[in-house]
Structure 1
């Protein structure tokens, strides 16, 4: 019994070496990653069926309890049998590919074993088919992500070999010879089958770990490149941004050269062949033009496929990918290699991931640029609303005071400078401290009240501690100006404007209320939503404030207007703290 064990270990070693070589095949790796369609299942049937065939040929011929033949077997004497690892190959095929693969591999291996002959030929053929089906059922039911745990594979392998021994005892004749055979080979074959399954599953796990490490490294590298190139691609596709981005990609990938183009010309080329692949020229390869026209990824693995106009160009392989912004091809990313072997699957997948990331960055850059343009337009629209009469009236008031009260005139000039400095500072910032906006309001009120002393009263209720809270510029002052200019046309006494600013744990609340004549009910729903035409004004300031609050804070930037004719108006908004 135990004299058979070293020979069986040797046979398992042969199969494990074959399995290791098999693990280097891309098709097999796809199957291991549970990407097994009918084509892959067919490949598995062939592979593990051949495992069984090899096991049959390398088996050990047994007569009774004696080893008869140890070398390559081409046939078996009628009274003899074979000790081999056939069930191991069939079982692993079933565990990986399911019942269909188990059945197919069992038919191939079992059929071959039947034609080799021997008194156990039929029993071994039947057991191979049944073992494949059983292993396939276990694999389908108990696998996780397409893989059975190594220790379950051990138990399955040992059970299947024990099952084969049972089939031999039931079917093979004469029974005495079958019993003698099983007594001799059962323990070594059960042990070896379990060991073989364990080693094979360790190889499968190693494949998975290698895949995971490769993906993790690929993801890390892609994110690292994306992080470092983001500040440059935020500027869009231009000579400087693309050169800096290409230098980063060249440093962090295995490419011998990296190039970036827009839809018309090369913007950057870093690395090999930079003597004739130069910026501000049309792309030097037909491949680039094909990618720009068709919007597909093109891979070249021969120098002739790159088709550079220079015969001495060192670039012999390339992957060229389109860069898209909103489904429009705006340029290409090109990774070149001097040796085709360096353009492997990992580099190609990394390049594809980078192209998608860069396309997203370019879309974000365009969106950010549009946002900035919109904000600038809104700021300019607000600044354009400054009534020229206000400036003329302020200057006239100051010129009069220069004769009768020079000190007050000096203070008003300072307030006027504060007012216009606030306009300029606000135009350069999306958010400013609340105290700066209040300073803007104060300067405006000083100039207005110098013209109309005691005409109205402005009351401030500001919660302490909110001075440095950021708010959008040109939000408070236009509301105060609206109240002063439009609220009191028909009100002669007790003209008041109340500015109330307070907070809770999440929001800042700003309210400007007056006790003026109010807004007609038919106009109220339109204010803040769009500009309206009237003799008193257009409502553009309210609309711009509302739009900017929504653009900056989204739904958190609440804006509302409450008014009742004869009772006054309140315009208020809420922003995040």
Structure 2
């Protein structure tokens, strides 16, 4: 028994070497992914049936209690039997392929064992079929596992040779010969078959881990390329950005050449054939046109199908990239030979095309959001400025009859203010110094309109002069105090403006000694347009929304009434670079 066990283990090693080679076959990965069709069932049944046949030929012939070391047998005599590893292929086929593969491989292996003959041939044939059925049933029980664990496979692998021993004891005559055979081959077959099945499933787990590592690496590489390409793609598909992206893809994908196109022209080319390539050359290849029209990836397997026609380029993958749901251009990956295009390259190219398409869409969305924000700011100005303009024009109209000289002066001041306002509000950011110049021009007109009804005091830290602020923010709060808070005061009105630096933020406050804000409107003002007799609150609401949109909730307006009378508006904003960059830096 010891010699038989060692001999079976030696031959099992040869058998497992073949199975390791088998796990390298790409078609085998479809079985691991449970991609079973009727055609694949036939293929895999035949394949695992062949493994069963090889396991039979790797067996050891037994005759009258003696072990033969012959490696290959064509036919067994009537007094011979075989200790084999045929059930390994059947059980593995059932475990990973399901009942149909188990039955198919069991039938093939069992038919071969009957063909070989021997006094236990029919017992082996029946055991192979039943083992395939039971292994398929067990696979259904463990269907949540992609491949059953080696420990489970070790114990499951024991039942097949034990089943064979039971059938031999029941069906082989005379009983004395059956008992002698089982005593000789039972334990060695149970050990070798179960260990072989456990090792086989271990190989499958190794193959899966390799596949997962490869997929993770390719995914990481695609994400890195997409991230590195994003700064260029944000600027759109141009000759300059296409050249940068083509160079990036050339370095990372190890292709023979890379080309980037829009819908009509080749924008950039890197790698083999670059000297022959002229940026702006029109797209000529039929596959490229088809990719643009259909939006589907195309693969060229011949030199004639690709562009440019370079002698060293024999294959290409053409990947469409989309923007706003339409094909915006192509990524063309060139290879020297068709054999260089593996499934990994095809899947990677397709995933990369999708990622870059998403990046283009995100860049367009970001650009549109920025444009909408700018448009929204301009709309806010358009909503607020007419109030001041109409009131000033009405004042000029009244002064023309009573005091023409003063009307002429107000008109000149209005012109000065409008020129200055047009200059500063054409930018998204202005300095505090420019904001105060705009406010002073505004107050010159207000003093003429309202004479001595109110005064304005301003206390600003000198170091804040170069800090940036959205234009007309302070002016609009002062205008709110003039038009609403102090509208009923005939004299003694006071507007106090404070601009203080606190750490990395500028704290701005505008307060007056007017009538204050009605309590029923205090918690609503700034959060939405508020209807009231003195106005609809659109100005304060717009200021608050603009501050929140640009700086976040920390910059929102804080509105309250003062105990001694009047109201106070306050907010704080972080430091903004004087060149107008949107990158906020806190000192």
Please give the range of the TM-score, normalised by the shorter of the 2 chains: 0.7 to 0.9
Range that drifts further, 143-152 or 85-94: 143-152
1:523-542 aligned at under 5 Å gives the runs none
1:189 matched residue in structure 2: 189
The answer to whether the Cα contact below 8 Å between 1:27 and 1:40 also exists between their aligned partners in 2 is: no
CA gap 1:148/1:542 in 2 versus in 1, 3 angstroms:
same
Closer/same/farther in 2, CA of residues 275 and 192 from structure 1, 3 Å limit: same
Any idea what the Cα deviations from partners look like across 1:226-255, whole Å, max 9, x if unmatched?
222111111110011110111011011121
Distance change (3 Å), C-alpha of 1:266 and 1:551: farther
2:259, 2:268 within 8 Å by CA — same for their partners in 1?
yes
Contact 2:77 2:118 in 1 (8 A): yes
Q: Which residue does the alignment assign to 2:296?
A: 296
If the length of structure 2 is used for normalisation, what is the TM-score? 0.76
- On the 8 A contact 1:157/1:193 being kept in 2, the answer is yes
- TM-aligned CA deviation for residue 56 of structure 1: 2.8
Cα deviation 1:517-572 (Å, max 9, x = unaligned): 989x9xxx99997999xxx9998856754664565578998789999xxx999888
| Residue in structure 2 matched with residue 247 of structure 1 by the alignment | 247
In 2, Cα distance between the equivalents of 1:494 and 1:133? 101
Paired residue for 1:209? 209
Describe the SS at the equivalent of 2:268: strand
Q: Cα offset for 1:456?
A: 2.7
Partner of 2:48: 48
C-alpha separation between the residues in 2 aligned to 1:365 and 1:420?
34
CA distance in 1, matches of 2:170, 2:466: 91
The whole-number CA distance in structure 2 between the counterparts of 1:224 and 1:512 is 49
Q: Helix, strand or coil for the counterpart of 1:333?
A: strand
Distance 2:108 2:554 in 1: 68
Gaps (5+ residues) in structure 2? 394-412, 575-585
Report whether the alignment pairs 1:77 with 2:77. Answer: yes
**Partner residue in 1 for 2:348:** 350
How many angstroms does 1:169 deviate by? 1.5
SS of the aligned residue for 1:236 comes to coil
Number of the residue aligned with 2:409: none
2:312 corresponds to 1:314: yes
Aligned partner of 2:367 in structure 1 is 369
Would you say the 8 A contact 2:424–2:471 is kept in 1?
no
Q: Cα 1:457–1:109, aligned 2, differ >3 Å: closer, same or farther? A: farther
Normalising by the residue count of structure 1, what TM-score does the alignment of the two structures yield? Answer: 0.78
In the alignment, what sits opposite 2:479?
481
2:144 and 2:160 map into 1 onto residues whose CA distance is: 21
Instruction: Please say if residues 511 and 566 of structure 2, whose CA atoms lie closer than 8 Å, have aligned partners that are also in contact.
Output: yes
Aligned to 1:172: 172
- 1:488-507 aligned at under 5 Å gives the runs 488-493=486-491, 495=493
Q: Displacement of 1:444 after TM fit?
A: 4.9
Q: Which SS does the other structure have where 1:75 is aligned?
A: coil
- Using the alignment, how far apart are the partners of 1:531 and 1:42 within structure 2? 75
> What RMSD in Å do the two structures reach over aligned CA positions?
4.6
Q: Show the 5 A alignment for 1:89-488.
A: 89-142=89-142, 145-306=145-306, 308=307, 310=309, 312-381=310-379, 385=385, 424=424, 427-429=427-429, 442-449=436-443, 452=447, 455-456=453-454, 474-485=472-483, 488=486
Whole-angstrom CA distance in 1 between matches of 2:178 and 2:558: 94
- CA offset at residue 33 of structure 1? 3.5
Greater shift, 370-379 or 207-216, is seen at 370-379
150-159 vs 169-178, which moves further: 150-159
Contact 2:65 2:181 in 1 (8 A): yes
Q: Is the 8 A contact 2:525 2:540 kept in 1?
A: no
Q: Per-residue displacement from partner, 1:345-394 (whole Å, max 9, x unpaired)?
A: 222222112111111111122122222323333445566749679999xx
- SS of the counterpart of 1:235? coil
1:119, distance to aligned residue in structure 2 (A): 2.2
Q: Is the 8 A contact 1:250 1:270 kept in 2?
A: yes
Q: Count matched residues.
A: 537
Partner SS state of residue 210, structure 2: helix
- Asked whether the 8 Å contact 1:259–1:270 carries over to 2, the reply is yes
User: Are 1:379 and 1:427, in contact at CA under 8 Å, matched by a contact in 2?
Assistant: no
Aligned to 1:217, the other structure's residue is in SS state helix
1:24 paired to 2:48: no
In structure 1, what is the equivalent of residue 400 of structure 2? none
